[in-house]
């Protein structure tokens, strides 16, 4: 499934079921909670990690839809941008971006 299709289907389900479609701040809060649930699932080795990551994705697509963002295009653009960037490790071992082209 493509990101754009998933974004539309997730939005349709959200609207149909009467979930939040207007309060952006609340949606960011709910997204943060889902990230926490995914982390807990990973940390504890629970079998529902995939489902929790899917929840993160669905809340993210809802935020994109609420803000008129075509997430499919933005992800493609960002991946292409990231492929051009270069990094070097500093003396502490952290990756530092050395180009932004």
What are the tens digits of pLDDT across the range 69-81? 999 999 999 999 9
Give the CATH number of domain 3-99. 1.10.287.1080
Alpha helices (H) along the chain: 3-17, 24-44, 49-66, 71-84
Q: Residue 78: its pLDDT value, please?
A: 96
* The model's pTM: 0.87
Q: CA dihedral in degrees (7, 9, 12, 17; nearest 10)?
A: -110
Q: Residue 45: its pLDDT value, please?
A: 98
Q: Residue 100: its pLDDT value, please?
A: 77
């Amino acid at each position: 499934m493509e990101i754009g299709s998933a974004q539309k289907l997730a939005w349709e389900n959200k609207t149909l079921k009467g979930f939040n479609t207007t309060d952006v701040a609340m949606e960011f809060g709910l997204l943060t909670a889902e990230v926490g649930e995914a982390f807990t699932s990973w940390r504890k080795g629970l079998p529902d990690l995939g489902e929790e990551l899917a929840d993160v994705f669905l809340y993210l697509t809802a935020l994109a839809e609420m803000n008129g963002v075509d997430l499919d295009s933005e992800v493609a653009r960002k991946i292409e941008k990231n492929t051009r960037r270069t990094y070097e490790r500093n003396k502490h071992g952290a990756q530092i971006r050395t180009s932004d082209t």
